[in-house]
Amino acid sequence: MTQRPQPGNGDLYDVVIVGGGAAGLSAALTLGRARRSVVVIDGGEPRNAPAAHMHGFLSREGLPPGQLLEMGRQEVARYGVQVIAGRARSAARDGAGPDRTESEGGFAVELETGWTVGARRLLVTTGITDELPAIPGLRQRWGRDVLHCPYCHGWEVRDQPIGVLGISPMSVHQALLFRQWTDRLIYLPHIGPHPDPEQAEQLAARGIRVVPGEVTGVEVDDDRLSGVRLRSGESIPLQALVLAPLAVPRAEVLDSLGLEATEHPMGVGAYITADKTGLTSVPGVWAAGNLTDPSANVLASAAAGATAAAAINADLVAEDTRRAVEAGRDRLSAEV
């Protein structure tokens, strides 16, 4: 393992990880403990940053999201992993010589500062951006009382009056899910299609009122959501608003390697396709976390990072072994 006091321009690592959220840091922990030289480049904007607390992570229930990552950075540092605060702009294949297999070509990762770091393998865990509908005031409430995930926030808004905004093919399903947490639920088709007859029957059967009309704003009282306003001028009192944002992969580094995102079949945005270890269609490049699965929570993202890390280490072990065998044969043939 190569240990460096500080990361520097032009350094070469076994693995460069772009993105230091749950997936990236979890991978870094596994790779650091596997005695790999690792640098994590992290822009410091995890998807759940707007939320005050993180839920559903066994043993870390209710922890502020930033605290989990701070603990993670301290843990990976114990194994020599370096973390650079900053953004990677692009990556390019580098050093794919005739003595290397396709997956063994290295990568040069360019940072926004103009620095370049070299990697034998690349793991991209840059996550997604949630694209919200253009309703004034919505973004400011995101992760507070404008929500998407019942498992993340449902408990906190249980029994409250909740509206579900119909902006996605998944919105009726989302309403039926949130019904588990409250019976004071309103479905707002907004500018999307009205529920079809089967959906309307399901909503009615579960006591979910459908209120038609375009939502033109949110109402806030004492820094809490108090309702939404319809174009008709009518106010609908609510304490939380639920919607299914579009997942937009933060994939500029993968784009630069020619790897394009795939539209999600459920119409919830896009994602990067990879095998179950996170290996993408570009040899030597892995991806994990929300980038490959927009529905993954923090625990699942961390698990995907650890899985990718083990696969990367195995790939490097295979390369190291192949090279050792070749070197041994070269020595033998030089002796005869």
Ligand X SMILES: Cc1cc2nc3c(=O)[nH]c(=O)nc-3n(C[C@H](O)[C@H](O)[C@H](O)COP(=O)(O)OP(=O)(O)OC[C@H]3O[C@@H](n4cnc5c(N)ncnc54)[C@H](O)[C@@H]3O)c2cc1C
By CB under 6 A, name the binding residues for ligand X.
Answer: 18-24, 41-48, 50-51, 54-57, 87-88, 125-127, 130, 143, 149, 152, 250, 252-253, 289-290, 296-299, 301
Shortest distance, CB of residue 261 to ligand X, whole angstroms?
14
Please report where in the chains the tokens 């079949």 appear, as a residue: 265
Nearer to ligand X, 185 or 254 (CB): 254
Q: Is 309 in a helix, a strand, or coil? A: helix
Nearer to ligand X, 21 or 195 (CB): 21
Nearer to ligand X, 14 or 293 (CB): 293
Shortest distance, CB of residue 54 to ligand X, whole angstroms?
4
Q: Is 153 in a helix, a strand, or coil? A: helix
Nearer to ligand X, 210 or 306 (CB): 306
Shortest distance, CB of residue 80 to ligand X, whole angstroms?
20
Tokens representing 319? 């390369």
Residues 6+ away with beta carbon under 8 Å from 51 = 65, 143, 144, 152, 153
Shortest distance, CB of residue 42 to ligand X, whole angstroms?
5
DSSP symbols for 108-143: EEEETTS-EEEEEEEEE---EEEEPP--TTHHHHBT
C-alpha 60/C-alpha 270 separation (Å) is 29
The amino acid present at 120, given as its one-letter code, is R
Shortest distance, CB of residue 50 to ligand X, whole angstroms?
5
Query: What's the count of helices (H) and strands (E) in the chain, helices before strands?
Result: 8, 19
Nearest-CA neighbor of 125 among 30, 29, 250?
A: 250
H-run or E-run covering 225: strand 224-230
At CB < 8 A and 24+ separation, what contacts does 91-99 make?
Answer: 91/18, 91/122, 91/253, 91/256, 91/257, 91/285, 92/256, 92/257, 93/257, 94/118
Shortest distance, CB of residue 31 to ligand X, whole angstroms?
15
Nearer to ligand X, 155 or 204 (CB): 155
Shortest distance, CB of residue 281 to ligand X, whole angstroms?
19
Shortest distance, CB of residue 178 to ligand X, whole angstroms?
15
Shortest distance, CB of residue 278 to ligand X, whole angstroms?
11
Nearer to ligand X, 41 or 188 (CB): 41
Nearer to ligand X, 300 or 316 (CB): 300
Residues 6+ away with beta carbon under 8 Å from 95 = 105, 106, 118
Nearer to ligand X, 47 or 230 (CB): 47
DSSP symbols for 35-93: T--EEEEE-S--TTTT-S-B-S-TT-TTB-HHHHHHHHHHHHHTTT-EEEES-EEEEEE
Nearer to ligand X, 44 or 328 (CB): 44
